[in-house]
Amino acid sequence: MSRILTITTLISLLTITVLTTPATSATDSFVFGGCSQLKYTPGSPYDSNVNLLLTSLVRSATFTTYSNFTIKSPTPQDTLYGLFQCRGDLSNGDCASCVARAESQLGTLCPDSSGGALQLEGCFVKYDNTTFLGVEDKTEVLHKCGPLIGYDSDQLNSRDVVLGYLGTSDGSYRPFRVGGSGDVSSVAQCVQDLSASECQDCLSEAIGRLKTVCGPAVWGDLYLAKCYVRFSTAGASSHGGNGNGNDNSGNDEVEKTLAILIGLIAAVALLVVFLSFLRKSCERDRVAVKMRDEATEACLEPNNTILNI
């Protein structure tokens, strides 16, 4: 009986673990990534420099939300440049966690690549053997737009107000900006290796393109190589993922459904194993009872040899 209770408890714990495993946090969600076509030789000095750089970025993220490094080498082709930047509203702990996640994903996404870049919801990491630090780059990397809402003048006015605020310079250096008007909220950020004027120029360019490509959408994201701008209406927002102009709002629901199905399948499998064990245990008990009864009957039968003595 105690064995059955122990197995039942174990099955309950395993089932709960499967069904309640937390999903990846929002800050760790994938947005986009890219890798250099050039490859380096594993075990080479460049390989060592890549490992040193990425390790330095992860360590630095525990103290600050932005930093850049240059790993110099006697041979120019082995010199490496890299940076990370976290979203301006993240704590150091969340920033460090995001950068560590990005560093791990870069190893999978760009194995042996001489350069790579990865944008997660909460942070951006990039490295290359060609210097990009302090270089303005307004190349469009990604844009995504939500469903169209029609030309609702109030909605469009609110969107234009918040985007206009993000694009306004007050003379100070503001690499991270947030705004809101009505039920529309927005966020913008440029990489902090840019100067104040370059940051302003990049954000202005991104805002103009976002308004053009997404039009009257409920949400929109536009990423340039060195800055991004995003806006969303209350109750509607993007959900990460790679693409260009695609609404991936169904991804989360699919993942949740798959998680539930996997949990149910695991629970059923465990239940089958438990029932099989229970059946075998009952059969063993029946055999033991039968053998005990037969032994008892044998003891009660007259023994002629004993009686004749």
Summarize pLDDT for 173-217 with one digit per residue, the tens: 999 999 988 888 999 999 999 999 999 999 999 999 999 999 889
Q: At what angle do helices 92-109 and 45-60 cross, to 10 degrees?
A: 160
Range with lowest mean pLDDT among 10-24, 102-116, 198-212: 10-24
- Where helices occur in the chain by DSSP H, the ranges are 2-19, 45-60, 92-109, 153-166, 196-214, 251-300, 304-308
β-pairing verdict for 116-120 and 80-86: unpaired
Range with lowest mean pLDDT among 55-69, 243-257, 269-283, 288-302: 243-257
Query: Tokens in use for 109?
Result: 């996404």
Please compute the mean of the pLDDT values over residues 108-135 and round it to a whole number: 96
Please compute the mean of the pLDDT values over residues 99-111 and round it to a whole number: 95
Sequence-distant (≥ 6) Cβ neighbours of residue 192 within 8 angstroms: 66, 85, 175, 199
Asked if the model's pLDDT at residue 254 lies above 60, the reply is no
Asked if the model's pLDDT at residue 252 lies above 70, the reply is no
Asked if the model's pLDDT at residue 264 lies above 90, the reply is no
Q: How far apart are CA 162 and CA 136, in angstroms?
A: 24
pLDDT, tens digit, 9 for 90 and up, residues 20-79: 223 335 889 999 999 999 999 999 999 999 999 999 999 999 999 999 999 999 888 899
All domains in the chain, ordered by first residue: 27-133 (3.30.430.20), 136-245 (3.30.430.20)
Share of the chain above pLDDT 90, in %: 53
Q: How far apart are CA 99 and CA 123, in angstroms?
A: 6
Asked if the model's pLDDT at residue 248 lies above 60, the reply is no
pLDDT at 150: 66
Q: Which residues pair with 125 in a beta bridge?
A: 84, 118
pLDDT at 270: 59
pLDDT at 172: 86
- Three-state SS at 295: helix
Q: What distance lies between CA 190 and its chain's CA centroid?
A: 21
Q: How confident is the model at residue 237 (pLDDT cuts 50, 70, 90)?
A: low
**Selected residue with higher pLDDT from 176 and 152:** 176
Share of the chain above pLDDT 70, in %: 67
Half-sphere exposure of 72 (CA within 13 A, CB side): 1
Please compute the mean of the pLDDT values over residues 280-295 and round it to a whole number: 60
